[in-house]
Amino acid sequence: MSADFYDSNLFVYLFDETAPAKQQRADELIRRALAEQTACISFQVVQETLNVLTRKLARPLTPADAEVFMQRILVPLWTIMPSSDLYSQAIDLQGRAAISFYDALIVAAALKAGCTRLLSEDLQHGQTFGALRIENPFRT
């Protein structure tokens, strides 16, 4: 079984006290992924998550807390780095699938990692890209 790919919204919901059900679901998924090594993320997920956590939360993380979160939660799951091939695939996906470039870059990273599921609230639930299926983990 291949690993799942997690989008940044899962990590952001860990800190969203206005959505307790999503916060709990994100916590469950991330704890399991870390314990069982069943998920991966890309550099883009790291960047987007840290940007939100340090700048856009009602109570942003301090730099020290952001560093701890990055090292303990994000780094163990971080497997996909930028490359010209990744960007080329994202450009192709953007054109063929009519999705934004940043969404295409997430999809391209998940495909590069060999994932069969991309857990994201931002893409269309059930949409597929080859063997990759988009799933909204918060859908009821």
The candidate with the shortest Cα–Cα distance to 42, out of 14, 99, 15, 3, is 3
pTM recorded for the entire structure: 0.95
Which tens digit of pLDDT belongs to each residue from 39-67? 999 999 999 999 999 999 999 999 999 99
How many structural domains does the chain have? 1
Q: Which CATH number characterizes residue 104's domain?
A: 3.40.50.1010
140 occurs within a structural domain? no
Within a domain: 61:
yes
pLDDT at 1: 46
Domain with 104, as residue range(s), is: 4-135
3-state SS of the chain: helix, strand, coil percent to 5? 55, 15, 30
pLDDT digits (tens, 9 = 90+) for 1-42: 478 999 999 999 999 999 999 999 999 999 999 999 999 999
CA distance 88 to 93: 9
Residues 108 and 7 sit within 8 Å (Cβ to Cβ)? no
